[in-house]
Amino acid sequence: MNGNDVLKTGTNGWTCVAANPRPVPEGGWPSAHEAMGVCGDAEGMKWIQAFVGGTKPELERDTIMYMLAGDMGEDNYKPMTLSKNDAGEGAWIESGSHVMLMPKDPASVSNFPADFQQGEPYVMFKDTPYAHVMIPTGEGYFDYQK
């Protein structure tokens, strides 16, 4: 999808959207990485709508989403902190390709580490209604970290 416009209709119930919450530049996003394309099923789309709306996700079950072009960055601990200058010390993560486990119960992922520097799956937004597991894929996950 591009906004509310369906670009290609699929048959498997999954939807892919540009998920960058920052203002869209004139002429559109210059790359898939900057558009922050994310794909998910209906439960994943419910999670995204809740996150963007600032409400608690109410999922029927755990779900998986993926961002194969990565994202432009966010504070790993404070949801919707979209500027590195506003992020906590050592909290900013701009990532490459990854898969995300969005749990129905965010507390169920509380035992995952929150440290994203180790190269292993970690929890993002720990101890919030938006806690989820980030699973790096491919060798380029940390290419955007300075």
- Distance from C-alpha of 19 to C-alpha of 54, rounded to nearest angstrom: 15
Q: Taking the domains of the chain in order of start, what are their residue ranges?
A: 15-136
Looking at residue 145, what is its pLDDT?
73
Helices (H), the chain: 32-35, 42-53
With a CB cutoff of 8 Å and minimum separation 6, the contacts of 70 are 33, 36, 94, 95, 96, 97, 98, 140, 141, 144
Q: Give mean pLDDT in consecutive 10-residue pieces for the chain, a chain of 146 residues.
A: 69 90 89 92 95 96 96 94 93 94 97 91 97 90 76
Looking at residue 2, what is its pLDDT?
64
Looking at residue 146, what is its pLDDT?
60
Looking at residue 110, what is its pLDDT?
95
Q: Which two tokens stand for residue 48?
A: 């995204």
- Distance from C-alpha of 97 to C-alpha of 89, rounded to nearest angstrom: 23
Q: Which residues pair with 92 in a beta bridge?
A: 75
Torsion angle in degrees (nearest 10) through CA of 57, 61, 64, 65: -30
Looking at residue 1, what is its pLDDT?
57
Q: Which residues pair with 93 in a beta bridge?
A: 74
Looking at residue 9, what is its pLDDT?
79
Looking at residue 4, what is its pLDDT?
62
Looking at residue 112, what is its pLDDT?
96
With a CB cutoff of 8 Å and minimum separation 6, the contacts of 75 are 81, 86, 87, 88, 91, 92
Looking at residue 143, what is its pLDDT?
83
